Chains A and B, each alone.
Chain A
Amino acid sequence: MSDGLWVYLATSPLLWLSGTLVIWIFATFLAGLRPGNPLFNPTLMSIVTIAAILYLTGIDYQRYFEGAQFIHFLLGPATVALGIPLYEKLALVRRNLLPMIVALTVGSLTAVGSTILLSEAFGFPQLITASLAPKSTTAAVAMAISESLAGDPSLTATVVVLTGICGAIVVTPMMNALGVRDYGARGFAVGLASHGIGTARAFAVNPVAGLFSGIAMGLNAIVTSIVVHLFL
């Protein structure tokens, strides 16, 4: 490839938009080869790959985002779309209304509270604390909350993905060690603590756990956006 062509393509949105899509497709293929391994997370693999490409080629993030913003924009409608599974599982929510309300309130307060306390104990600056606070909610919502708290949405996005992977890895051995056999409760906990990545893991372990996890993810998005204002 001639230098001229590279300079031309690297400045066009087309290269980074198509590049993101192709890298994502390849990452989902790799993830499919290791379905039980939460470290083979396609979002994480894509982020690391693209970040490395930008770092090595010296392309700045602003330029990349000019192409990738078309994907980024869909976060809003995707958050609205989370209302559909919530509606479809309404009967299940009704039958477990009180346990869900209790676990949702206590869990959401714990997720946000423990994050802020630890962040302050580590002496992180306010910007980082605000970016970490909503880390248990699904990325679209977490980034919106982070922005409203004057945090940095891009730092939030990375931390949200790491939180999801952490929950997906520890949940099964941890719940077994705690002796909790109620898959509804286990699913609800992992969906609340680690959103969509935890929910994907819950569905792989048990269908009831998956359902409860998806419900917890949707409800926690709403509750966390209110709870953070009690702390920050």
Chain B
Amino acid sequence: MIVGIATLLTFQLVGEILAYETGGLVPGPVLGMALIAIALLTMAKWQRVQSTQSQTIATSKAILANLGILFIPAGVGIVKHIDVLVAHGLALLALIVVSTVITLAVTVWSFVLAKRIFGGASDE
């Protein structure tokens, strides 16, 4: 548990340092995500880090299983934007629906089309 948290925080820290040094184009935690996937990939067979890996994976799964609670503190910040909601509520809702529908259609069509051209397999 502690090892898992320490590992995740350390990767975030390294990500934040990289983000700072590269001008903040990609957020630090996102860089941390890419780095931890690469680290797992390259060190998968190292005996010495097996226990660290399994603890990190267990901690990650526990956090991801309860991801929804983490958005609450920021989401409640909507109380600071009641004026925005009153002024633009309907337009905001329309924007969300229209852009989500367009994104779904364009993404699914480009996936199907690319698969027809390049091939691919939808199994595990």
- A positions within 8 Å CB-CB of B: 20-21, 24, 28, 41-43, 46-47, 50-51, 54-55, 61, 64-65, 68-69, 71-72, 74-87, 90-92, 95-103, 106-107, 110-111, 114-115, 118-119, 122, 124, 128, 132, 135-136, 138-141, 143-145, 148, 152-163, 166-167, 170-171, 174-175, 178, 180, 182-186, 188-190, 192-194, 196, 208, 211-212, 216, 218, 221-222, 225-226, 229
Task: Give chain B's interface secondary structure class.
Answer: helix
Are B88 and A128 closer than 8 Å at their CB atoms? yes
Q: B41 contacts which chain A residues (CB < 8 A)?
A: 87, 90
Cα distance, A186 to B107, chains bound together (Å):
9
The reply to whether B122 and A118 form a contact with Cβ atoms under 8 Å apart is: no
B110 at the interface (CB under 8 A from A): yes
Interface centre among B76, B97, B101 (most CB of A within 10 A): B76
Instruction: State the main secondary structure of chain A at its contact with B.
Output: helix
Minimum distance in angstroms from B19 CB to a CB of chain A: 9
Q: For window 96-111 of chain B, which residues contact chain A by CB distance below 8 Å? A: 96-111
A174 partner, pick from B68, B95, B104, B119, beta carbons under 8 A: B104
Residues of chain A within 8 A (CB-CB) of B102 are: 110, 114
The residues of B that contact A182 with a CB separation of less than 8 Å are 111-112, 115, 122
What is the CA–CA distance of A162 and B89 in the complex, to the nearest angstrom? 12
Q: Which of B5, B30, B105 contacts A221 (CB 8 A)?
A: B30
Known: A81-B8, A83-B35. A153 touches B77 (CB 8 A): yes
The reply on B74 being an interface residue by CB < 8 A is yes
